[in-house]
Chains A and B, each alone.
Chain A
Amino acid sequence: MAGSMSRAAKRAVNRPAGTATRAVRVAALAACAALALSACGSTKDAGKAGAAGGEGKVGVILPLLTSPFWQSYNDYVPKMAKEEKVDALKTVNSNSDPAQQITDINNQLNQGVKGLVVAPLDSAAIAAGLDQAERKGVPVVAVDVAPEKGKVAMIVRANNVAYGQKACEFLGSKVKTGKVVQIMGDLASVNGRERSEAFRTCAKDKFPGLKVLEIPAKWESDAAASKLDTLLNQNPDIKGIYMQAGGVYLAPTLQTLKSKNLLKPVGDAGHIAIVSNDGIPQEFDAIRKGEIDATVSQPADTYAKYGMYYIKKAMAGETFKEGPTDHNSTIVKHPSGLLEDQLPAPLVTKENVDDKALWGNNVK
């Protein structure tokens, strides 16, 4: 091996720089440039496939499948599609990668879908995909995340700012003064940022007695566990916790508290008030056991249901207006002109944890 390499090396050294090759390269570049001038175009040139006539296949794109919330959404999609009489293709998972999500949208469009229900990973990094759909005349319903740019027929979403506020107001009603900690999501994600910001602002404005400590945990359970551990060592007097995603933070939080002997049931003197976010069955169990106080239920079932509901109407050419809806929610208009149906996200406490209407109680 070494022998042959050194031979190559010698050849390399002995070889003079090729002026001829350089000339060829320059000529090739020039030719390209000349051609480019005559044949330039844009992806925007792609012709419209004509407006959809109300029927046809619908592509459903998921952001990730590694959280219980999106898993149940994924389960609800085929059921709700059937209920709403929508011909939905099998769901596609973008696996937490915004670029993959654009590719997924393109792939679905190439397959000739007439409508798309997309849960964007990122409010801005979905723009290119929405543009492609618009060019092909395919309506899109956005679920969970409101796009900042691009056209969608409707945004189906529970307000993430409201999550943070609800959690803060609940925690504020339980803890008057002292330290509370929020275990935050990925600050590179809109949902993580909005929940964090809302909780922080609300605590500052409405509950000046609270001192908010923060754990950036990037939706990662091990990060949550180790950072909470450190923080509890430093501040043994923490009185409340807000977990921004029960799906990933519930187990590590309870585990850490248990190992420090700080997990006392609701009502005990040393109980740390805990509010979670998601509404998965495991959180409901923890509420029943008195380990945590409450959770904000992010409605996986209505996400799927109204995603299908709106895409069907949009494909039939219907448009929507601001104002209250027939299903206990309100359609609001964003500054960008996009409409958002703000589905209710109930706060679940010991009082209503057994409510059959909560999706967390209906998971198989």
Chain B
Amino acid sequence: MADTTASKVAAPARDASGSAADRKKTLLLSRARELALLPALLVLVLVGALTNESFFTSGNIISILGASAALAMVVLAESLVLITGKFDLSLESIVGIAPAMGALLVLPALSSGFGTEMPAFVGILVILVVGALVGAFNGALVVKLKLNAFIVTLAMLIVLRGLLVGATEGKTLFGMPDAFFALATSTFIGIPLSVWIAALCFGIAGFVLKYHRVGRALYAIGGNPAAAKAAGIRVDRVMLGVFVTAGVLASLGGLIQTGYVGAINANQGQNMIFTVMAAAVIGGISLDGGKGTMFGALTGVLLLGVVQNLLTLAQVPSFWIQAIYGGIILIALMIARVTTGRAQD
């Protein structure tokens, strides 16, 4: 300690160069965190391409992307919340209830809707509004009432799931107007719109997190909320905003899922949060907050998508598929650890 003070006083020039080196090192480390999964992903793609001729066809790649789009949206939402150092488990229920609310308003009473038969665009708008409202409610409970985010959103997960089963009486909703399915069924240069939207959202989020002050505020809050507050960040407001954004993104994910499946099951999104957490965390988002990038989270999503696809193509016996799936995730984590040489937290 005394030594550093002494050197600081004696040689300010050396200190400056030292901190620059430090910064370079942290930059390198964060890069490594961001790219950690790429080697594992490449290995898997290579294995896939070598072992199965149907893997590397454009049809198959597009179907991996299409299957991952909804998950990607929810992972994006969860990553934003995780970076601020909070949790939102209820996102998986938003994936179900948000599109269901939209559908119920649009569907005639005969198809178990509310019978209001509103136009399709209102329904779609309602989907996003429901996502935002749930997010705002979660945010208010966490930020204003200062409740523990993990437990509160767990309770909300159950409440929302129950509301969905109650509102639909457990029935599956189908026969919605085509607009509800458009995201998954319409394509642009052969790739579903849902994939483009997910890519765009990841792009914007990555950009904002890296260069915009709001994005930097998220890292600051996740790293140390007290310090962030002292630095003049309106922590409560930003956090509330993050919950609302996450809710909207998850509801968009729900809409994509609806288009992908072609109906809304009362279980839509159930247990999805585990996959979401897995994708985010293996993609380098820290559960303690303040760390991780959007690119990393995206590689996490793609890794899971590729593994699922490969296991099906490889004709793995159904009884063992989950064990092997989990095992491959573990190995991917190890490859990431070995190739980047950094300790995980």
Contact surface of A with B, Cβ cutoff 8 Å: 1-2, 4-6, 8-13, 15-18, 21, 25, 32, 35-36, 39-46, 62, 65, 74, 89-93, 95-100, 102-104, 106-108, 110-112, 121-129, 131, 148-150, 186-190, 192-193
Q: Which of B175, B211, B219 contacts A149 (CB 8 A)?
A: B175
Q: Chain A residues near B204 (CB, 8 Å)? A: 25
| Interchain nearest-CB distance for A186 vs B (Å) | 7
Residue total for B at the interface (Cβ-Cβ under 8 A): 72
Q: Chain B residues near A92 (CB, 8 Å)? A: 312, 318
- Which residue of chain A has its CB nearest to the CB of B192? A43
B169 adjacent to chain A (CB < 8 Å)? yes
Q: Which of B70, B169, B173, B220 contacts A5 (CB 8 A)?
A: B220
| Interchain nearest-CB distance for A33 vs B (Å) | 11
Interface-lining segment among B36-44, B135-143, B262-270: B262-270
| Interchain nearest-CB distance for B166 vs A (Å) | 10
B172 and A1 form a contact (CB under 8 A): no
| Interchain nearest-CB distance for B292 vs A (Å) | 14
- Which residue of chain A has its CB nearest to the CB of B54? A111
Q: Chain A residues near B271 (CB, 8 Å)? A: 97
Q: Chain B residues near A1 (CB, 8 Å)? A: 223-224, 290
A9-B217, A42-B187 in contact; A102/B172 too (CB < 8 A)?
no
| Interchain nearest-CB distance for A194 vs B (Å) | 11
Apart from A21-B207, A99-B67, A125-B174: 20 A-B pairs, beta carbons within 8 A: A5-B220, A5-B227, A12-B213, A17-B212, A21-B211, A65-B319, A90-B315, A95-B322, A97-B271, A98-B263, A99-B257, A106-B66, A110-B59, A122-B172, A124-B172, A124-B173, A125-B263, A188-B165, A188-B266, A193-B171
B54 and A98 form a contact (CB under 8 A): no
B265 and A188 form a contact (CB under 8 A): yes
- Which residue of chain B has its CB nearest to the CB of A60? B318
A5 and B228 form a contact (CB under 8 A): yes
Q: In the complex, what distance in Å separates the CA atom of A99 from the CA atom of B265?
A: 10
B184 adjacent to chain A (CB < 8 Å)? yes
B338 adjacent to chain A (CB < 8 Å)? no
Q: Which of B172, B188, B228, B313 contacts A125 (CB 8 A)?
A: B172
Q: Which of A11, A12, A43 contacts B184 (CB 8 A)?
A: A43
B340 adjacent to chain A (CB < 8 Å)? no
| Interchain nearest-CB distance for A135 vs B (Å) | 11
Interface residues as binary, B199-237 with A (CB distance below 8 Å gives 1, 0 otherwise): 010001001000111111101100110011011110000
B60 and A187 form a contact (CB under 8 A): no
Q: Which of A18, A42, A90, A128 contacts B212 (CB 8 A)?
A: A18
B318 and A103 form a contact (CB under 8 A): no
| Interchain nearest-CB distance for B78 vs A (Å) | 17
Q: Chain B residues near A150 (CB, 8 Å)? A: 262
A5-B220, A12-B216, A21-B212 in contact; A98/B267 too (CB < 8 A)?
yes
| Interchain nearest-CB distance for A184 vs B (Å) | 10
A98-B265, A128-B260, A148-B174 in contact; A2/B227 too (CB < 8 A)?
yes
B312 and A98 form a contact (CB under 8 A): no
A42-B185, A99-B257 in contact; A65/B318 too (CB < 8 A)?
yes
- Which residue of chain A has its CB nearest to the CB of B200? A32
B334 adjacent to chain A (CB < 8 Å)? no
Q: Which of A10, A41, A97 contacts B188 (CB 8 A)?
A: A41
B170 and A187 form a contact (CB under 8 A): yes
B231 and A10 form a contact (CB under 8 A): yes
| Interchain nearest-CB distance for A338 vs B (Å) | 15
B170 and A186 form a contact (CB under 8 A): yes
Q: Which of A43, A74, A104, A188 contacts B170 (CB 8 A)?
A: A188
- Which residue of chain B has its CB nearest to the CB of A64? B318
B223 and A2 form a contact (CB under 8 A): yes
B321 adjacent to chain A (CB < 8 Å)? yes
Q: Chain B residues near A41 (CB, 8 Å)? A: 186-190
B331 adjacent to chain A (CB < 8 Å)? no
| Interchain nearest-CB distance for A176 vs B (Å) | 31
Q: Chain A residues near B264 (CB, 8 Å)? A: 125
Q: In the complex, what distance in Å separates the CA atom of A192 from the CA atom of B231?
A: 56
Q: List 23 A-B contacts (CB under 8 A).
A: A9-B217, A9-B233, A12-B214, A12-B216, A16-B213, A18-B211, A21-B207, A40-B186, A41-B188, A62-B318, A65-B318, A92-B318, A95-B321, A98-B261, A99-B260, A102-B67, A106-B66, A124-B262, A128-B261, A187-B165, A188-B165, A188-B170, A193-B170
Q: Chain A residues near B308 (CB, 8 Å)? A: 100, 103
- Which residue of chain B has its CB nearest to the CB of A92? B312
A4 and B262 form a contact (CB under 8 A): no
Which of chain B's residues 284-322 have a Cβ closer than 8 Å to chain A?
290, 308-309, 312-313, 315-319, 321-322
